Amino acid sequence: KAGVTQTPRYLIKTRGQQVTLSCSPISGHRSVSWYQQTPGQGLQFLFEYFSETQRNKGNFPGRFSGRQFSNSRSEMNVSTLELGDSALYLCASSWGGAGGAFFGQGTRLTVV
Protein backbone atom coordinates (compact mmCIF):
# COMPACT_ATOMS: atom_id res chain seq x y z
CA LYS A 1 0.00 0.00 0.00
CA ALA A 2 1.56 3.30 -1.08
CA GLY A 3 2.13 5.90 1.61
CA VAL A 4 1.62 9.64 1.53
CA THR A 5 3.58 11.16 -1.33
CA GLN A 6 4.80 14.73 -1.34
CA THR A 7 6.41 16.51 -4.28
CA PRO A 8 8.83 18.02 -4.74
CA ARG A 9 11.16 16.89 -1.94
CA TYR A 10 13.30 20.02 -2.10
CA LEU A 11 12.70 23.57 -3.31
CA ILE A 12 14.76 26.74 -3.34
CA LYS A 13 12.87 29.96 -3.96
CA THR A 14 13.60 33.66 -3.82
CA ARG A 15 11.85 36.12 -1.51
CA GLY A 16 8.69 37.46 -3.07
CA GLN A 17 8.07 34.42 -5.24
CA GLN A 18 5.24 31.98 -4.76
CA VAL A 19 5.37 28.20 -4.44
CA THR A 20 2.98 25.27 -4.77
CA LEU A 21 3.51 21.99 -2.94
CA SER A 22 1.66 18.80 -3.72
CA CYS A 23 0.44 15.92 -1.58
CA SER A 24 -1.10 12.60 -2.64
CA PRO A 25 -2.75 10.86 0.33
CA ILE A 26 -2.99 7.16 1.03
CA SER A 27 -5.65 5.58 -1.16
CA GLY A 28 -9.06 5.86 0.50
CA HIS A 29 -8.05 8.63 2.88
CA ARG A 30 -10.26 11.70 2.58
CA SER A 31 -8.64 13.99 5.14
CA VAL A 32 -5.41 15.83 4.33
CA SER A 33 -3.67 18.09 6.82
CA TRP A 34 -0.65 20.34 6.30
CA TYR A 35 1.99 21.23 8.88
CA GLN A 36 5.02 23.49 8.97
CA GLN A 37 8.05 22.24 10.89
CA THR A 38 10.89 24.52 11.96
CA PRO A 39 13.63 23.96 14.55
CA GLY A 40 12.33 26.76 16.76
CA GLN A 41 8.57 26.19 16.61
CA GLY A 42 8.32 22.48 15.98
CA LEU A 43 5.32 21.14 14.06
CA GLN A 44 2.58 23.70 13.57
CA PHE A 45 -0.81 23.02 12.03
CA LEU A 46 -1.61 24.93 8.83
CA PHE A 47 -4.98 23.57 7.65
CA GLU A 48 -7.05 20.48 7.06
CA TYR A 49 -9.13 19.51 4.06
CA PHE A 50 -11.85 16.89 3.91
CA SER A 51 -13.82 16.09 0.76
CA GLU A 52 -12.54 19.24 -0.99
CA THR A 53 -13.57 21.52 1.91
CA GLN A 54 -11.29 23.29 4.34
CA ARG A 55 -12.52 22.23 7.77
CA ASN A 56 -9.93 23.81 9.99
CA LYS A 57 -7.17 26.42 9.76
CA GLY A 58 -4.21 27.24 11.98
CA ASN A 59 -2.80 30.64 12.86
CA PHE A 60 -0.94 31.45 9.68
CA PRO A 61 -1.26 34.52 7.44
CA GLY A 62 -3.44 34.51 4.37
CA ARG A 63 -0.35 34.02 2.18
CA PHE A 64 -0.72 30.35 3.04
CA SER A 65 -3.58 28.67 1.21
CA GLY A 66 -4.54 25.25 0.01
CA ARG A 67 -7.07 23.19 -1.83
CA GLN A 68 -8.14 19.61 -2.25
CA PHE A 69 -9.25 17.91 -5.41
CA SER A 70 -11.98 15.32 -5.92
CA ASN A 71 -9.40 12.50 -5.83
CA SER A 72 -8.30 13.78 -2.36
CA ARG A 73 -4.95 15.04 -3.64
CA SER A 74 -4.08 18.37 -2.08
CA GLU A 75 -1.94 21.35 -2.91
CA MET A 76 -0.59 24.06 -0.67
CA ASN A 77 0.38 27.48 -1.96
CA VAL A 78 2.51 30.14 -0.33
CA SER A 79 2.57 33.56 -1.98
CA THR A 80 5.03 36.42 -1.50
CA LEU A 81 7.61 34.18 0.15
CA GLU A 82 9.55 35.44 3.15
CA LEU A 83 12.82 34.16 4.59
CA GLY A 84 10.91 32.91 7.62
CA ASP A 85 8.88 30.56 5.43
CA SER A 86 11.93 28.30 5.11
CA ALA A 87 10.82 25.05 6.70
CA LEU A 88 9.90 21.42 6.22
CA TYR A 89 6.29 21.25 5.04
CA LEU A 90 4.55 18.02 5.96
CA CYS A 91 1.34 16.56 4.70
CA ALA A 92 -0.63 13.95 6.62
CA SER A 93 -3.63 11.90 5.56
CA SER A 94 -6.27 9.91 7.42
CA TRP A 95 -9.70 8.40 6.82
CA GLY A 96 -11.61 11.08 8.65
CA GLY A 97 -10.23 13.03 11.55
CA ALA A 98 -6.68 13.89 12.45
CA GLY A 99 -6.21 10.81 14.54
CA GLY A 100 -3.56 8.37 13.50
CA ALA A 101 -2.54 10.62 10.67
CA PHE A 102 0.11 9.19 8.40
CA PHE A 103 2.76 11.61 7.24
CA GLY A 104 4.64 12.04 4.00
CA GLN A 105 8.37 12.65 3.79
CA GLY A 106 7.88 16.38 3.51
CA THR A 107 9.01 19.14 1.19
CA ARG A 108 12.05 21.08 2.32
CA LEU A 109 11.52 24.72 1.25
CA THR A 110 14.41 27.14 1.40
CA VAL A 111 13.76 30.83 0.75
CA VAL A 112 16.82 32.91 -0.14
Partner 1 sequence: EDQVTQSPEALRLQEGESSSLNCSYTVSGLRGLFWYRQDPGKGPEFLFTLYSAGEEKEKERLKATLTKKESFLHITAPKPEDSATYLCAVQLRAQGGSEKLVFGKGTKLTVNP
**C-beta of 35 vs 64, nearer to partner 1:** 35
Residue (10 or 14) nearer to partner 1, CB:
10
Going through 14-98 in order, the beta strands assigned E by DSSP cover 19-24, 31-38, 42-50, 53-57, 64-68, 74-78, 87-94
> 55-60 contacts: CB < 8 A, separation 24 or more?
60/36
Nearer to partner 1, 69 or 102 (CB): 102
Contact assessment for residue 5 and residue 103, using Cβ atoms and an 8 Å cutoff: no
Instruction: Give the residue among 69, 63, 76 at the shortest CA–CA distance from 35.
Output: 76
Least CB distance to partner 1 at residue 45 (A): 5
Nearer to partner 1, 90 or 109 (CB): 90
Question: Least separation, in Å, of the C-beta of 32 and partner 1?
Answer: 12
* List of residues contacting partner 1 (CB under 8 A): 4, 6, 31, 33, 35, 41-45, 48, 50, 55-56, 58, 90, 92, 97-106, 108
CB of 14 vs partner 1, minimal distance in Å: 23
- Paired with 23 in beta bridges are 6, 74
Smallest distance from partner 1 to CB 23, Å: 11
